[in-house]
Amino acid sequence: MSRMGAINNKSVAEESLRQAENKLKSLNRVLSKLDSDDFGICLKCKNKIPYVRILIRPQSLLCVNCPQYLF
Ligand SMILES: [Zn+2]
């Protein structure tokens, strides 16, 4: 494999690792809320997040109406 190819593969691997770590962090944050009243409540507008959304994106801490740039 060429040196450039190796570098590209490395950055692709690092990028997916970073995304996985971010997802893990969000999931841990959600897990830490499981026992609290905040679980299933949008961090921004304090509306209830539909369970379907939590099932699809369990790491989501915001409802569909709020911009997702924070997470
Ligand atoms: Zn919201």
- Domain of residue 39, residue span: 3-56
For the entire predicted model, the pTM comes to 0.53
Q: Is 11 domain-assigned?
A: yes
Q: Report d(CA 50, CA 32) in Å as an integer.
A: 19
Distance from the CA of 43 to the center of ligand 1, in angstroms? 7
45 occurs within a structural domain: yes
CA of 58 to the centre of ligand 1 (A): 15
Q: Decide if 62 is inside a domain.
A: no
Angstrom distance (rounded) from CA 23 to CA 13: 15
Q: CA Rg, the chain, in Å?
A: 16
For residue 55, report the distance from its CA to the centre of ligand 1, in Å: 16
Could you give the CA distance from residue 37 to residue 5 in angstroms, rounded to a whole number?
A: 49
Place of tokens 């494999």: 1
Structural domains of the chain, count: 1
What was the pLDDT predicted at 13? Answer: 94
pLDDT in tens, the chain (71 residues): 688 788 889 999 999 999 999 888 888 887 787 777 778 888 889 998 888 877 787 767 888 888 765 54
**pLDDT at residue 54, rounded to an integer:** 78
Measure 17 CA to ligand 1 centroid, in angstroms: 28
Residue 68 is assigned to a structural domain of this protein: no
